Amino acid sequence: MSIVLITALFALALAFVLGMALGFFKQIFAVEEDPLTGQIREILPGANCGACGYPGCDGYAKALAEGQANIGDCPPGGQSVVKQLAALLGSSADLTPQVAVLACAGTKGKALIRGEYVGVNSCRAAKISTGSIKLCAWGCQGFGDCARVCKFDAISMGEDGLPHIDAANCTGCRICARECPQHIIWMVPRDRKGARPRCSNLNVVKANVAKNCKAGCIKCELCVKNCPQQCMKMVNGIPAVDYEKCTSCGICVEKCPIKVMALT
């Protein structure tokens, strides 16, 4: 009998023994999955985007089955998934769909840069290493971290150096908002109507704002003073809107000399 045949027979015998051993230990140490976890997993969309804060849909399903998560923590699933989970788990099906918006209008032509940046093409890396590549410390860094993490093709970087959000594709998963080191991607109710600021510059020195960014809020408060509904006030140097009073009249947009305000 040749050495090749002996080797082959030995390998087959070894594989058989190992297979039997694996099967035996699988039965001995098997952990039964909660049937409820499997039912929840079937309802979830399977995006595995991590927006829920758990490692994929499997982790979220397990947390839901154990009562450690909320049925509204799956934005990609939308109201349909929430209703199905509510029916399965016997809880409330109240979920307000959200969409991402950008609180910065500092395009390449308006926001001045501090100098040439040589480093990793990442907003977070630029923020850590330089504080901000722009003179405005609150502005978009423009490297597209938000676009890279979006799993739904809802964000693309424009030639103006800012991310552009496609509201139709946005699922409100919040991943882009968490990824942005400047915290200038805000989640708002999808059906919200009214005015919103496109600036998050907290610098209260008007002259510095105007010098650093031609699109920055200069804290003139004309929007607040001219609002007929008196639904606006300055909070930390940024116009804040009471959307229960706002009628989308557009006067604040017209009065803003920098065009910081926009209607949604």
What's the pLDDT score for residue 32?
A: 59
What's the pLDDT score for residue 153?
A: 93
What is the pLDDT confidence band of residue 31, given thresholds at 50, 70 and 90? Answer: low
The helix (run of H) or strand (run of E) holding residue 59 is: helix 56-65
Torsion 234-235-237-242 (CA) sign: negative
Least confident of 145-149, 163-167, 210-214: 210-214
Least confident of 18-22, 31-35, 140-144, 145-149: 31-35
CA atoms within 13 A on the CB side of 258: 25
What's the pLDDT score for residue 170?
A: 93
Q: What is the DSSP string of 16-38?
A: HHHHHHHHHHHHHH--PPPHHHH
What is the pLDDT confidence band of residue 28, given thresholds at 50, 70 and 90? Answer: low
What mean pLDDT, rounded, does the chain reach? Answer: 88
Domains (ranges, CATH) in the chain? 35-89 (1.10.15.40), 97-190 (3.30.70.20), 193-264 (3.30.70.20)
Is-contact 113 135, C-beta < 8 A? yes
pTM above 0.95, yes or no: no
Summarize the confidence of residues 21-38 as an average pLDDT: 71
Q: CA-to-CA distance for 58 and 40, rounded, in angstroms?
A: 9
What's the pLDDT score for residue 129?
A: 94
Please determine, for residue 67, whether its predicted confidence score (pLDDT) is greater than 90.
Answer: no
Please determine, for residue 166, whether its predicted confidence score (pLDDT) is greater than 70.
Answer: yes
Is-contact 118 148, C-beta < 8 A? no
Task: Give pLDDT tens digits for 36-57.
Answer: 998 999 999 988 888 888 888 9
Task: Give pLDDT tens digits for 175-231.
Answer: 999 999 999 999 999 899 999 999 998 876 777 888 899 999 999 999 999 999 999
